[in-house]
Structure 1
Amino acid sequence: MPSDLNAPGLKTRPNRDGTRRLYWCARTDLVKAGYRPETVRLPYSLDEPSQRILIKAACMRLQAEMLEWSGRLKRPEARFDGTILSLSRRYQIDEASPYQRLKHTTRRKDTYTLVLIEKAFGSRSLAALKIADFYRWYDAAKKPKTPGGPERVRRAYGIIKKLRELFAFGVMAELPECARLYEILQRAKFKQPERRRIAMELAHVEAFVATALERDRLSLALGTAIQFEAVLRQKDVIGEWEPIPEGEEATGIVLNGRRWKNGLTWSDLSADLIVRKATTKTGAFVAHDLKLSPLVVSLIARVPASRRIGPLILDETAGRPYAESAYGREWRIIARAAGIPDAVWNMDARAGAITEAEDAGADLDHIRSSAAHAQLSTTLRYSRGAVGKSRAVASARQAHRTPRNEA
């Protein structure tokens, strides 16, 4: 593995033509203890600079999942010795910990942050910590990765947020010093990462669809169109891969020890193109009439009747739902070819749909319901630069002035 690439578990094996195949390999001691998968083939190349970040991300994710599994091995309750490390391990193992009730995707992100915390200051005693320590850690964590680069505020705030959660658990578990430290962090103020302000626009969607069709990527065109027109999250359209619970039979669509679920299937579409689905984040049930979107209707018409079974969105190259991160990677390739700025992400389709709806004068509560939001405040956070409300206010003010002007 190159010394400048932080990709834990990365191994290479030579091909006959002199190139190298890339694999992530689990720790041998954990494999002996029963961890699977032992190895995962990585479809990238070290010779492609643009793929090195993908190699790093894949290895960090797989490593975090392995360490999460390791932390949950059946063993006596973690001994608490008053350090951050012991609190972190207790948080990950205790059956009463909120960590045990997180979704696998959230738990994976949590594990990554916990590893950062344990490595950076796991040996520190809780009794010795003061507010100055937290500000110092925050300032160190937000420093740019490279000189002159942007500050990593999201990374720094994420560490502080996770420390708050650790101390909150410590309060519930009646561990010493945790109440004091939780109170400190509840009162302390740290700069939060800025909310995203970019939204995908209809012009972006149309350009993307045209380019995707030119390159025979109907799946990407259809997935993006449905995200935008039906105000759906990416995973609610293309699905996700969840670990198969221990002892459960590996049925369904399975890849590398994970089962595909939660994506749209052809059975979710009625004969008159009404799509009904429970969303993954909140479980709220939504329904959308896709007939009202000529773009989606035209794309569905391109799918042969013989193919209209099982998952709606299939990777053309693999003949199955997109592997994790593959959809985003392939989406960006098409987006760049279509002239869409890198600042516009696939996830911005949902914000773009909500912003367009408000600009069109749609009732805000109707938009909230369409997006399956429980609170209107959530919907408003997704509206990025819409002038719908301000236009209505301006019109009302002008109407109010008219009688005076006529007088």
Structure 2
Amino acid sequence: MHCECPTPGLKRRKRKSGPDILYWVARADLVKAGYRPETVRLSYSPDDPAQMPLISAACLKLQAEMLEWSSGRKRDPARFDGTIKGLSRRYQTDPASPFQRLKHNTRRKDLYTVAIIEKAFGKRALAALRIADFYRWYDEAKKPKMPGGRERVRRAYGIIKKLREMISYGVMAELPECSRLSEVLRHARFEQPARRSEKLELHHVEQFVAKALDMDRLSLALGTAIQFEAVMRQKDVIGEWEPLPPGASASGIVLRGRRWVNGLTWSDLNEELVIRKRTTKTGAFVAHDLKLSPLVLDLLARIPADRRVGPLIIDEKAGRPYAHDAYGREWRLVARAAGIPDEVWNMDARAGGITEAEDAGATLDHIRSAAAHSQTSTTIRYSRGAVGKSQEVARLRQAFRAAKNGT
């Protein structure tokens, strides 16, 4: 980028189509020390010289905030300026905050929402807020991204949910105005996003597997087949990348300061082709006999014996487990090529398998055990439009009527 305007911390990410995306990135040593946000996306065009002063001003502002924090002025956990941004920063940095006990992946998602909150209304003083402000913010956040598009209720509700969590923390930390606002929000009602009804069905999986093999993406075919047949969460199949704890050795599979964990490995699959694995969400063990899934058996047979070591799902392009978000991104490319609608997601494989199991007549308790759910009520939420139980009820009623009428 050719310009005399100073742009400290500016980074750009190239895209295959469209202009590059600009980011301001905080210094790595200060991020490690606890500074947030780590990155801020800049909504400017890198190819428009007229926008360079705006890009420079944004970078200088963010850099100044970071350096002010590093000087110690913003490290004092008792410092609170009475604004939403002040509450947000206290929520993120206080060792006693619930934020510190979130899992790393949940924390990363939360920071995305927190960044939206800080940018949109971070300067507002808590003492000046009224219920009308929250409703107005909710209505603005749910507006369609494009004219005529769908309302973004999930996004809007997520912002209000995070505000509630931050204010609840403020109550616990005895920060001014938080008790009042907590009481205000306790009585407020906001439309929640509708529960997902989409599911990945068998014909989707078969279409996907065929297309993935055509595109030389055996890993995506195998991962999807296991997710569907063994009703396993994506994370429990492909794994995830956790930040290395301070001082930890870089053992195992490490990429950019993060270690791959929790995914299926060949050691989880015994000679009888039975998977035994502890799940990440509940800690429960699951066991699945893959010999009962011809779809998975066919895909496993395509993997040479000398490659059956380490992670089960390997990104063919990178030669290692899929990096963050890469699995979902590559999965969508294959899904579109296979004719699978965009509203059907990879995560819907679990719901599809559970729904099929109920239609097949499996008991909810057996399905619950197979899915490693701690409660049957959770299993029921994953069953989307199954008719298995209602068919059984209908058959029993018809038999009852026949017996009653002596026929």
**Could you tell me the TM-score, scaled by structure 1's length?**
0.83
Show the 5 A alignment for 1:100-179. 100-179=100-179
CA distance in 2 between partners of 1:22 and 1:160 (Å): 31
Alpha-carbon offset, residue 207 of structure 1: 1.4
SS at match of 2:405: helix
SS at match of 1:137: helix
1:88 aligns with 2:95: no
Computed over aligned residues only, the root mean square deviation of the Cα atoms, in angstroms, reads: 2.8
1:30 aligns with 2:63: no
Instruction: Please name the residue that 2:244 is paired with.
Output: 244
Tell me, which stretches of 5 or more residues in structure 1 are unaligned?
A: 2-7, 14-18, 41-45, 47-62
Contact 2:11/2:24 (CA < 8 Å) preserved in 1?
no
CA 1:283–1:26: 2 relative to 1, 3 Å:
farther
Alpha-carbon offset, residue 281 of structure 1: 1.6
Instruction: Please name the residue that 2:57 is paired with.
Output: none
Number of equivalences: 366
Paired AA for residue 310 in structure 2 = G
Contact 1:239/1:263 (CA < 8 Å) preserved in 2?
yes
Instruction: Please name the residue that 1:60 is paired with.
Output: none
Instruction: Please name the residue that 2:5 is paired with.
Output: none
CA distance in 1 between partners of 2:273 and 2:145 (Å): 48
1:402 aligns with 2:399: no
Show the 5 A alignment for 1:368-383. 368-383=368-383
CA distance in 1 between partners of 2:197 and 2:152 (Å): 18
Query: Displaced runs of 4+ in structure 1, greater than 3 A?
Result: 19-27, 31-36, 404-407
CA distance in 2 between partners of 1:137 and 1:22 (Å): 30
CA 1:32–1:243: 2 relative to 1, 3 Å:
closer
Instruction: Please name the residue that 1:333 is paired with.
Output: 333
CA 1:401–1:358: 2 relative to 1, 3 Å:
same
Show CA shifts across 1:184-207 (max 9, x none): 212211000111101111111111
SS at match of 2:27: helix
Paired AA for residue 216 in structure 1 = D
CA distance in 2 between partners of 1:264 and 1:406 (Å): 56
Show CA shifts across 1:282-336 (max 9, x none): 2221111111111111211111111110000111122111122221122122222
Instruction: Please name the residue that 1:11 is paired with.
Output: 12
Contact 1:217/1:316 (CA < 8 Å) preserved in 2?
yes
SS at match of 2:156: helix
Alpha-carbon offset, residue 215 of structure 1: 2.3
CA 1:117–1:12: 2 relative to 1, 3 Å:
closer
CA 1:9–1:144: 2 relative to 1, 3 Å:
farther
Show CA shifts across 1:163-192 (max 9, x none): 110111111112222122112212211000
Instruction: Please name the residue that 1:285 is paired with.
Output: 285
Paired AA for residue 312 in structure 2 = L
SS at match of 1:181: helix
Alpha-carbon offset, residue 84 of structure 1: 1.4
Show CA shifts across 1:110-164 (max 9, x none): 1111111112222222222221111111111111122222111111101110111
SS at match of 2:259: strand
Alpha-carbon offset, residue 354 of structure 1: 0.3
More displaced 10-residue stretch of structure 1: 242-251 or 166-175 = 242-251
Alpha-carbon offset, residue 35 of structure 1: 5.6
Percent identity reads 69
Show the 5 A alignment for 1:202-221. 202-221=202-221
Contact 2:227/2:349 (CA < 8 Å) preserved in 1?
yes
Instruction: Please name the residue that 2:386 is paired with.
Output: 386
CA distance in 2 between partners of 1:176 and 1:122 (Å): 16
Contact 1:92/1:99 (CA < 8 Å) preserved in 2?
yes
CA distance in 1 between partners of 2:114 and 2:23 (Å): 21
CA distance in 1 between partners of 2:91 and 2:252 (Å): 33
CA distance in 2 between partners of 1:323 and 1:134 (Å): 37
Show the 5 A alignment for 1:212-361. 212-361=212-361
Show CA shifts across 1:341-387 (max 9, x none): 22211111000000000000101011111111111111111100100
Tell me, which stretches of 5 or more residues in structure 2 are unaligned?
A: 2-8, 40-44, 46-61
Contact 1:78/1:93 (CA < 8 Å) preserved in 2?
no
Contact 1:12/1:21 (CA < 8 Å) preserved in 2?
no
CA 1:289–1:182: 2 relative to 1, 3 Å:
same
